Amino acid sequence: MPLAKSNKARKLALSRIGYETHVNKVPANFEFFPEKNQVGHNFCLFFPCSSIPSLLVSYSPFRRHGSDRLGTQKWFQLFTMKTENVVMEASDRIGSQDWKKSHVLLINPPWISKEDNIWNGIKAAMPPLSLLSIAAYLEQQGVTVQILDIHVEKLSAHQVREVVRRVAPEWVGMTVMTATSVASHQISRIVKEVCPDAKVVFGGVHAEALPLETLSNSAVDYVVRGDGEFTFHKMVTGADPTALNGVSWRNGSAVVNNPPVEVNMDLDQYPRPAYHLVPMHKYYPTIGAYKKLPAINMLMTRGCPGKCTFCNSANTALRNRSADRVVEEIEHLRDTYGIREIQFYDDTFTVNRQNVLRFCELMKKRKVGVSWSAFIRADCFNEELARAMKDAGCHQVLIGVESGDEQILRNIRKPIQDKRTKQSIELARKAGIETRCAFIFGSMGDTLESMERTLDYSIELDSELAIFNVSTPYPGTQLFEWARDNGYLVTEEWSEFELSTFLLNLPTVSNEKVMEFYAYAHKKFYSRPITMWRRAKKMRHLAQIRDAINAFFYIVLRHKVGRRGEVRSDWLGYKKADFFDLSLSEADKIPRLTYELRQPDTVDVKAWGSDAFRKSIETTSL
Ligand code: B12
Ligand code: SF4
């Protein structure tokens, strides 16, 4: 790395390649190396001369998360380490990895929230499990693959260009959600600029709901619909993509949607997600959701038999991984990366009661000693589960309550009775599990009065934490279709779809009122002394105190402290029109809803899940 003249310039040079410096002075003759230890810490040492490994250690206990704290043994190792073994040129690294040539590059695009997004500035990033699962399968089959997580590495467009140049992939795969779709299109252009022969493939909920639009960007070659493991593997190992099920592609000016791929009901066929391909030390869980650090996300199921109109997972094929495999994976994460907490991101973790009970039994029997949290449905929970989950280390459940108004709950097709919700919260509390409840403002039919009822209900339920969202019509959901068909959709500019902007013009309540109420609800719920007291009691780490202070400023006072990294601005300001350069038509139309896309004909929906849940589906009026 060429030496910069001033101290400020040297610090800036380091920050550009992704390193924070926590020393006032970076010596002019420094040598630099990033060191990854077994638990995945990443910190820098600056040596004033090459032979004495001492003096300046760039390390701050406040820096990233609890895992940054080092044990005595590690400090000892650091001070006795021989520099020549570890010193390397800083410029060889972009983000946390050494990039080398490989056949496939999988990219997680950045999710850049806008300045006025209530969550802007509050850190949270978890590994992209979709890409990790695809990468693991590719590696198992002998394909070389690397993962570039632009979001967590906070990379600039320039750095992404450099990574793509070094990796020189033949295939690039990107996972696309609505909130990241514009950035994904920008990245596809970068890929084609650097490696014109590389094939670019998009997958994920957004791309599969809109293959025609996605392929209107000439830099995207294929869209994979449904699970990507098998389809993408066949693609990158020489099969003709135009002959594969689940693929959408361009044939002249027409988009051809091949028939859907068969849904793989046996998730155990997929290997353990390739956590080793991402910078594990950089991930950080959502505020309020963790008890211990480091924490990481996992899945035990895919799909959900619920029918909620706002949700892409509604009525998608429910599939399970075996409890044994999941527990083994947790032990692996604990032993390899020092993981102390798991956040299950399953749509409805408790939907298969037997598997959850088996999982809890194993966690207890094998004394895994890792805490965890999960999303549940209130009508999918009982005393037996609550007790077993607590005994197995569960400390929090997130319940999607959505509204305090019965009619609204019917409108959004989640008609869970008030007494059932209260009962589940009570059961969790009795067992010693914290509850976090989620609510939506601006749902179909919402009025100011019904939103007030929802806010009052959130307080009445007395859960420890509440999450308030504005109803967002994501493509592939019934809500999107309803809003578009009725002219309620404010925009189809996807960069606006970041959850804290209300994008509907409802006849029942104005857009501005919903936004005002959204901010007011956070203030009202979180400035109550009881909520503050409960949070304060749970504080165990400096990281939690820092998060709470940030949240208070950002969410309650809506005051911005700190600043966003400058490099992030590279990804802002683009619109769909900047990338969609082709005018196409659809040769074969596919269904518009995610559940129609991901629903195998052969599976009997009523045979899924626990008795309680089955009952609730049967009584749900669609
Ligand atoms: C985990 C999760 C998160 C995590 C993301 C962490 C992470 N990096 O994974 C967090 C909490 C940060 C998050 C945030 C948000 N999320 Co989210 N999230 C999920 C959740 C629950 C699971 C995703 C997952 O891991 N699935 C498991 C994998 C294995 O399945 P998969 O993603 O479908 O991937 C398979 C296929 O789609 C395909 N595939 C996917 N990508 C690719 C790429 C290629 C190249 C190929 C070939 C195939 C392929 O193959 C994969 C493997 O089989 C989903 C719901 C769901 N069930 O999917 C919502 C979901 C994806 N999230 C959603 C939303 C709305 C959000 C937020 C906007 C909400 C918010 N809080 O602001 C943000 C946006 C974040 C962003 N980056 O855009 C919506 C997306 C709607 C949409 N149209 O975009 C979903 C679908 C929830 C829902 N049910 O409606 N989310
Ligand atoms: S229960 Fe949850 S995951 Fe399932 S459809 Fe409803 S909101 Fe989506």
* Antiparallel, parallel or unpaired: β 31-36 and 295-298: unpaired
For residues 547 and 128, what is the distance between their CA atoms, to the nearest angstrom? 23
Number of domains in the chain: 3
Helix (H, G, I), strand (E, B) or coil at 201: strand
Asked if residue 159 and residue 300 are part of one domain, the reply reads no
Classify the C-alpha dihedral 424-428-430-436 as positive or negative. Answer: negative
Asked if residue 531 and residue 422 are part of one domain, the reply reads yes
**CATH number for position 386:** 3.80.30.20
Helices marked H in 432-476: 448-461
Q: Is residue 331 part of a domain?
A: yes
**Residue 288 beta carbon below 6 angstroms from any ligand 2 atom:** no
Q: Is residue 573 part of a domain?
A: no
Asked if residue 446 and residue 387 are part of one domain, the reply reads yes
Which pair of structure tokens corresponds to residue 180?
């990241």
* Among candidate residues 469, 472, 502, 473, the one with its CA nearest the CA of residue 485: 473
**Residue 312 beta carbon below 6 angstroms from any ligand 2 atom:** no
Asked if residue 421 and residue 494 are part of one domain, the reply reads yes
Q: Is residue 278 part of a domain?
A: no
E strand map for 122-189: 145-149, 171-175
CB neighbour burial string for 192-207, b if at least 16 within 10 angstroms, e if fewer: bebbeebbbbbbbbbb
Domain boundary among 56, 91, 126: 91
Contact call for residues 201 and 173 (beta carbons, < 8 A): yes
Which pair of structure tokens corresponds to residue 249?
């592609």
> What is the domain range of residue 228?
104-257
**Residue 203 beta carbon below 6 angstroms from any ligand 1 atom:** yes
E strand map for 126-241: 145-149, 171-175, 199-203, 222-224
Asked if residue 473 and residue 326 are part of one domain, the reply reads yes
Contact call for residues 285 and 294 (beta carbons, < 8 A): no
Asked if residue 290 and residue 407 are part of one domain, the reply reads yes
**Residue 308 beta carbon below 6 angstroms from any ligand 2 atom:** yes
For residues 322 and 272, what is the distance between their CA atoms, to the nearest angstrom? 12
Contact call for residues 394 and 373 (beta carbons, < 8 A): yes
Query: Helix 511-526 vs helix 529-538: angle between axes, to the nearest 10 degrees?
Result: 60
For every residue of 512-571, DSSP letters joined together read HHHHHHHHHHHHHHHTSHHHHHHHHHH--SHHHHHHHHHHIIIIIS----S---GGGGGG
Q: Is residue 519 part of a domain?
A: yes
Helices marked H in 406-447: 406-411, 418-431
For residues 282 and 64, what is the distance between their CA atoms, to the nearest angstrom? 7
Atom of ligand 2 at shortest distance to CA of 312? 8
Asked if residue 293 and residue 249 are part of one domain, the reply reads no
* Among candidate residues 35, 21, 27, 19, the one with its CA nearest the CA of residue 83: 35
Edge to edge, the sheet with strand 56-58 lists 31-36, 42-47, 56-58
Q: Is residue 471 part of a domain?
A: yes
Residue nearest to atom 28 of ligand 1 (CA): 130
E strand map for 299-345: 301-304, 316-320, 341-344
Asked if residue 163 and residue 81 are part of one domain, the reply reads no
Q: Which ligand is nearest to the CA of 312?
A: 1
**Residue 315 beta carbon below 6 angstroms from any ligand 2 atom:** no
Q: Which ligand is nearest to the CA of 182?
A: 1
One-letter amino acid for residue 190 of the chain: I
Low-confidence spans in the chain with pLDDT less than 50: 1-3, 20-24, 29-91, 561-566, 600-610, 612-622
* Cα R_g (the chain), whole angstroms: 24
Q: Which ligand is nearest to the CA of 301?
A: 1
* Among candidate residues 50, 44, 54, 14, the one with its CA nearest the CA of residue 31: 50
Contact call for residues 60 and 24 (beta carbons, < 8 A): no
Q: Is residue 588 part of a domain?
A: no
For every residue of 242-298, DSSP letters joined together read GGSTTEEEEETTEEEEPPPPPP---GGGSPPP-GGGS-GGG-BPPTTS-SSSSEEEE
Q: Is residue 274 part of a domain?
A: no
Q: Which ligand is nearest to the CA of 231?
A: 1
**CATH number for position 219:** 3.40.50.280
Contact call for residues 300 and 326 (beta carbons, < 8 A): yes
* Among candidate residues 377, 337, 382, 385, the one with its CA nearest the CA of residue 361: 385
Helix (H, G, I), strand (E, B) or coil at 376: strand
Domain boundary among 511, 536, 556: 556
* Among candidate residues 116, 178, 170, 109, the one with its CA nearest the CA of residue 145: 170
**Residue 273 beta carbon below 6 angstroms from any ligand 1 atom:** no
Residue nearest to atom 86 of ligand 1 (CA): 312
Name the residue of 299, 301, 304, 480 whose CB sits within 8 Å of the most ligand 2 atoms, as the mutation to test its pocket. 304
Which residue in the block uniquely carries the two structure tokens 């969410």?
Answer: 555
Residue nearest to atom 2 of ligand 2 (CA): 347
Contact call for residues 379 and 416 (beta carbons, < 8 A): yes
* Antiparallel, parallel or unpaired: β 145-149 and 171-175: unpaired
pTM: 0.84
The helix or strand, by DSSP H or E, that contains position 166, with its residue range, turns out to be helix 157-167
Domain boundary among 257, 272, 305: 257
Asked if residue 61 and residue 111 are part of one domain, the reply reads no
**Residue 160 beta carbon below 6 angstroms from any ligand 1 atom:** no
* Among candidate residues 318, 328, 319, 351, the one with its CA nearest the CA of residue 271: 328
Residue nearest to atom 1 of ligand 2 (CA): 306
For every residue of 582-619, DSSP letters joined together read ---EESS---SSHHHHT--TT--GGGSS-HHHHHHHHH
**Residue 130 beta carbon below 6 angstroms from any ligand 1 atom:** yes
Q: N- to C-terminal Cα distance for the chain?
A: 62
For residues 358 and 379, what is the distance between their CA atoms, to the nearest angstrom? 20
* DSSP code of residue 100: -
Q: Which ligand is nearest to the CA of 314?
A: 2
The most distant pair of C-alpha atoms in the chain lies apart, rounded to whole Å, by: 73
Asked if residue 319 and residue 199 are part of one domain, the reply reads no
Asked if residue 234 and residue 337 are part of one domain, the reply reads no
Name the residue of 300, 308, 416 whose CB sits within 8 Å of the most ligand 2 atoms, as the mutation to test its pocket. 308
Q: Is residue 571 part of a domain?
A: no
For residues 353 and 615, what is the distance between their CA atoms, to the nearest angstrom? 14
Determine the pLDDT at residue 524.
Answer: 92
Contact call for residues 161 and 257 (beta carbons, < 8 A): no
**Residue 495 beta carbon below 6 angstroms from any ligand 2 atom:** no
Asked if residue 252 and residue 180 are part of one domain, the reply reads yes
* Ligand 1 center to 177 CA (angstroms): 6
